[in-house]
Amino acid sequence: MNMEGILALTGWGGLRWVGPVELFERGPVWLRDWAVGWLPEGAKVWAEGLIPAVAVLAVFGLLFGLATVAERKLLGRIQNRPGPNRVGPYGWLQFAADGVKMLTKEDVVPRSADRVLHFLAPIVMLAPVALSLAVIPYGRDLVAADPRCGLLFFFAVGSAAEVAAFMAGWSSRNKYSLLGAMRAIAQMISYELPLVLSALTVVMMAGSLSLVEIVEAQSGYWWGVIPRWHVMTPWGLAGLLLFMAAAAAASNRAPFDLPEGESEIIGGFMTEYSGFKYAIFFMGEYFGMFAVSGLAVTLFLGGWQAPLAVLEAAPSYGWFFLKLGVMIAWFIWVRGTLPRLRVDHLLNFGWKYLLPLGALNLLVAMVWRGLGGWAFPGAGAVRWLACLAMIGLPAILWGRLLMRSRGWGPRVYRYAS
């Protein structure tokens, strides 16, 4: 394999001609195998685990930097202004300047703060989230770890971030930090349930908890043109919308960013953090956003699959990162458009609206599978519409019922007579 890999990398036709398609597609895997091949036997096991981990962290670290600049520039464009455009070409090296700034800032710890917890909180926030990036398949055979319960591992590890939020808020000895931490934790645990429920629908339909198998269950095309992604089914579409709403709330992203809204509570549980620790929190938040976006891509958008059969020549990881970029751009667009939700509205939305709809989505997925036996012409469209009505009508009616019971609706003006 090593020799072939090296020869293939150089494009030498010694053993076998490798076209550019396969070179780009298999390149990372060949690189890893070649690097591991240089090491002695004992170190091979370590290297096989370490190299993908380092690669994932490096790629996502760079993506984090670029995402911060992209967010500021996109938000600026949404607000009719250019965003940062001084550092680097069109401002794209702003994250380097920000990184240097964060590193050189004085690390302020309040005198009455609990030093051990204050120090550990950013680490406890970042480590589990980075760990959850390990199970997402980035391309064909490009996954750092593929346990049989990959999805469960993702959620198990992601739930440790709430403890970190509490640690940060408590150790700061600041009533606003504590309040922000309480809100953040309440929000995170409230929205874990809809998140898991929409993911559960996918697990049920794909038949496996392993993310690699879920991606492979979405391969193939209907009539050769429409990819068999889960989002192309009514339960998948509803599931994606539910998942995106719950994911935005679970990673404290607008419009659910009350725990850290600057105009509400200064920094929430991150108020007393400065310099590098704040950068770690920030990175943890963005990694969380990447992780849930990556999971959404994997579960609903077909992971690394190409959308058309002719486009399969492009490398699989290219498709994954393109879809991930679309998700991130969507999050940024939502942030620039929607106003922030008040905390009780937020919790009501999670428990009273998303949770029942998530359970209903599970039912609709079962009905979809049950109706799969129809064979009359036009059956596909009828099945689609029936299942869409099954999830869409309750969504609309339930929303109206909830709003009416609270007395919300279009504003009615009464004039003094």
From residue 190 to residue 229, what is the string marking binding to other proteins with x (rule CB under 8 A)? --x----------------x--------------------
Q: Give yes or no for residue 167 binding other proteins (CB under 8 A).
A: yes
Q: Which is closer to other proteins, CB of 16 or CB of 148?
A: 148
From residue 72 to residue 111, what is the string marking binding to other proteins with x (rule CB under 8 A)? --x--xxxxxx--x--------------------------
Q: Which of 219, 241, 223, 202 is nearest to 307 (CA)?
A: 219
Beta strand ranges found along 64-205 (DSSP E): none
Residue 170 and residue 114 in contact, taking contact as beta carbons nearer than 8 Å: yes
User: Who contacts 17 (Cβ-Cβ below 8 Å, separation ≥6)?
Assistant: none
CA angle 14, 15, 18 (to 5 degrees): 90
Rounded CA-CA distance 413/390 in Å is 36
Type and span of the H or E element at 222: strand 221-222
Reduced to 3 states, what is the DSSP secondary structure of residue 76?
helix
Stretch that binds other proteins, among 154-162, 217-225, 295-303, 383-391 (CB under 8 A): 154-162
Q: Which is closer to other proteins, CB of 149 or CB of 366?
A: 149
Rounded CA-CA distance 128/150 in Å is 14
Q: Which is closer to other proteins, CB of 185 or CB of 238?
A: 185
Given 64, 170, 273, 320, the residue binding other proteins (CB under 8 A):
170
Rounded CA-CA distance 174/237 in Å is 43
From residue 114 to residue 153, what is the string marking binding to other proteins with x (rule CB under 8 A)? x--x-----------------------------xxx--xx
Residue 66 and residue 98 in contact, taking contact as beta carbons nearer than 8 Å: no
Q: Which is closer to other proteins, CB of 34 or CB of 398?
A: 398
Q: Which residues bind other proteins (CB under 8 A)?
A: 74, 77-82, 85, 114, 117, 147-149, 152-153, 155-157, 159-160, 162-163, 166-167, 170, 178, 182, 185, 189, 192, 209, 333, 336-338, 395-396, 399-400, 409-410
